[in-house]
A and B are shown apart, each in its own frame.
Chain A
Amino acid sequence: MPPVIEPAERHTLSMLVDNEPGVLARIVGLFSGRGYNIDSLTVSEVSHASHLSRITVVTTGAPPIIEQIKSQLDRLVPVHRVVDLTVVGKAVERELALIKVRGKGELRQEALLIADSFRARTVDTTLESFVFEITGKPEKIDQFVSLLEPLGLVEVSRTGVAAIGRGAEGM
């Protein structure tokens, strides 16, 4: 009899790490080596003075797996702190996407209307194409992309989720 399988959940983990060569490789290697999922990953320096980067990983797994992932990340030597934003409470999660559509006439009009209703900005225009910039929760971007699909969608570039806890406290 296999052990009881708990349903997978989607969690957003945020961590502060030393901004040094190889740190990202350690983190990505941990996920691939131990067979964990990465749904999205963002990384950027957040403090030049103290050499810190912030990494946000969105992952899915059963609760005990998520707990393992957090402990495993926490024990990497260059990792300062790991917070499971999904457990702490509702976090602000945002993603930015750049989306290119190509089309003429009615399709072009339709794309502009949809972009407008999603509060996307037009950042590049030619006679037969647009590039839109949109920010929001990943689901909102998913929806935007799927609406543009029949209207000449060419390509999508997404940043992955950046997240931060609500309220006055920092991580």
Chain B
Amino acid sequence: MMREMTGAEMVMQALIDQGVEHMFGYPGGAVLPIYDAMFHQNQVKHILVRHEQGAVHMAEGYARSSGKVGVVLVTSGPGATNAVTGLTDALLDSIPLVCITGQVPTHLIGSDAFQECDTVGITRPCTKHNYLVRDINDLARVMHEAFYVAQNGRPGPVVVDIPKDVQFAKGMYVGPENIQHRTYQPRLKGDPEKIKTAVEMLAKARRPILYTGGGVINSGPEASRLLREFARLSGYPVTSTLMGLGAFPASDRQWLGMLGMHGTYEANMAMHDCDVMVCIGARFDDRITGRLDAFSPDSKKIHIDIDPSSINKNVKVDLPIIGDVKHVLEDMLTVWRGMKAEPDRRALAGWWSQIDKWRARKSLAFTTSDRIIKPQQAVKALYDQVKDKDVYITTEVGQHQMWAAQHFHFEQPNRWMTSGGLGTMGYGLPAAIGVQVAHPDSLVIDIAGEASIQMCLQEMSTALQFDLPVKIFVLNNEYMGMVRQWQDLLHGGRYSHSYSESLPDFVKLAEAYGGVGIRCSNPADLDGAIHEMINVNRPVLFDCLVDKTENVLPMIPSGKPHNEMIMPDHPEALDDAIDEEGKMLV
């Protein structure tokens, strides 16, 4: 389709042609023409945010929970710089976004014009790719290319910076049909020889483990289905990173729970002692590996990843397979069946009985009390009431995030949205709003901390304006609990500036926004209060007062190997768990 239109109209037309239904944005001088073009159509719905960081996190939640590309629109200068945290978050967690930024007119670029900033310069290291469109004749192509780059290969955020004169200029619009990217053609199918070798290694394994990650979610629901099929066929144990939770059902007997720094004892011990590990769409992050030279010392490692730069970045692997999880798993299953592969059942039975012994250590155990709500108990109580509902969970960053990962269990992919790579406090509420936009009839809950929630709390107002009944479940321990825990660990319990001083009255605050506020401090009232929260069809801020001293356990202290975990039955080991070298690590 070729049609003459203005740049601003092209932006809207490209969004429509890309199937965009929702976008998140905030206006300003340099994007007014686009807002005007938006005014003349009703296919793309615009959610007006209260801060541009919120817009990007909303788009992330929207994208992660729906598999679509999230779209953001912000103005030049402060609009663009406010988006930077969200863009970096999306880059580290591989979330597909297209962020359109306004720019001063081309003839003023470089003159320190009003609200000018070097957006492509600032966002170059925090996007997968970015464009400055100086010529109206490039605009339509660049818009379509941006969607292509954002969602193909390893997904990520793409910025399209459009000077205001280009928004007013007229040119020919081209549709997405004939856009083919010249250079960026990620490889989806794995090398068949390597897949065959991988299946042979796996079939011969005596102590195998499937270490899965966010790449399984990125690859789409079919990848999760194939993962389940492969696990069932082989009988092998499955663990996942924080980013991959839900790809494999937590109720399955083969599920070991999350691995890594705050993962379960059985998952980490199995990673340490396995003889063949398949890493499926995960990136050997430092939260996973612990001390690198002691990481799973005796295993052969297979790594399936779509991004060649993830291979051998932190851990040297024996067999890399470059490709998309879904395609590679599909081929592995075909080869496995074709070879009539039979795992060594006796060895496997021995491996499982070892794993069961580790499981019996009950590394996620916690004590409950009838005087004070334990944070783990709060998450468990929430889970018990909503597990059979159509529910999506987001989190902020801190201890509550880890307790959510440990005690809320997921059966399906795309149900768990958390900031893993960047660890951005303030992510959870806007992300929940984005999820609610994509799934208006579902129950969406942000499990939050009282410090994190204050970083993007202004988005309550967005939730109210657009009738998005998100629930914010604050585990209020009156501390930046994760910081306090590390001060216990590294700094002799000197709690320098980690106390949440002068907290607002969250109930009144919720009411001030026009939402519902609930407070609960008594374990006996907890179930009733949660029941009330999930049955209100309005945004709720739930202030759950919990034990202020609880630490997240189990824990692999930084710089330690997997088999030196601190367990909940010996929490005192936290006190001097980290040596001088480990202190340098974060």
Contact = CB atoms under 8 A, between A and B. Distances in A.
A74 interface: yes
Interface stretch (A18-26, A99-107, A147-155): A18-26
B308 A71 contact: yes
Contacts of B483: none
A18 B308 contact: no
A168 interface: no
B117 interface: no
A29 B125 contact: yes
Interface in B138-161: 149, 153-154
B316 A64 contact: yes
Given A3-B292, A3-B293, A77-B183, A33 B125 contact: yes
B333 interface: no
Interface string B128-142: 110010000000000
Given A3-B292, A26-B124, A79-B183, A64 B312 contact: yes
Interface string A64-79: 1001100110111111
Contact of A72 (B149, B183, B309): B309
A77 B309 contact: no
Contacts of A78: 183
Contacts of B128: 77
Contacts of B153: 75
A134 B125 CA distance: 38
Contacts of A74: 308-309
Nearest to B186: A75
A31 to B, nearest CB: 12
A45 B121 CA distance: 23
B183 A80 contact: yes
A45 to B, nearest CB: 16
A26 to B, nearest CB: 6
B311 to A, nearest CB: 7
Contact of A1 (B120, B121, B293): B293
Interface string A34-72: 000000000000000000000000000000100110011
Nearest to B310: A71
A129 to B, nearest CB: 39
B527 interface: no
Nearest to B124: A29
A72 B310 CA distance: 9
B232 interface: no
A134 B46 CA distance: 63
Residue among A3, A68, A76 with max Cβ neighbours from chain B (10 Å): A68
B55 to A, nearest CB: 24
Given A3-B293, A77-B184, A80-B183, A22 B309 contact: no
Interface in B507-522: none
Interface string A140-159: 00000000000000000000
B308 A22 contact: no
Contacts of B316: 64
Contacts of A67: 312
Contacts of A29: 124-125
Nearest to B120: A22
B149 A77 contact: yes
B559 to A, nearest CB: 11
B531 interface: no
Nearest to B581: A2
Nearest to A69: B309
Interface string B282-323: 000000000011000000000000011101110010000000
Interface string B101-127: 000000000000000000011001100
B311 A71 contact: yes
Residue among A64, A77, A80 with max Cβ neighbours from chain B (10 Å): A77
A115 B429 CA distance: 71
Contacts of B121: 25
A26 B128 CA distance: 11
Residue among B121, B125, B153 with max Cβ neighbours from chain A (10 Å): B125
Contact of B132 (A4, A22, A33, A79): A22
Nearest to B145: A77
Interface string B308-348: 11011100100000000000000000000000000000000
A139 B160 CA distance: 44
A80 B309 CA distance: 16
A147 B536 CA distance: 85
B236 to A, nearest CB: 29
Contacts of B183: 18, 77-80
Nearest to A51: B182
Nearest to B131: A22
Contacts of A33: 125
Contacts of B182: 18, 80
Contacts of B124: 22, 25-26, 29
Contacts of B311: 71
Nearest to B184: A77
A33 B154 CA distance: 20
Nearest to B125: A33
Nearest to B154: A75
Nearest to B316: A64
A77 B312 contact: no
Contacts of B308: 71, 74-75
Contact of B313 (A3, A22, A25, A68): A68
Nearest to A80: B183
Given A4-B293, A64-B316, 17 more contacts: A1-B293, A3-B293, A18-B182, A18-B183, A25-B124, A33-B125, A67-B312, A68-B313, A72-B309, A74-B309, A75-B307, A77-B128, A77-B129, A77-B149, A77-B184, A78-B183, A79-B183
Interface of A: 1-4, 18, 21-22, 25-26, 29, 33, 64, 67-68, 71-72, 74-80
13 contacts: A18-B182, A22-B132, A25-B121, A64-B316, A68-B313, A71-B309, A72-B309, A75-B153, A75-B154, A75-B308, A77-B183, A79-B183, A80-B183
Closest 4 CB pairs of A and B: A71-B309, A77-B129, A71-B308, A80-B183
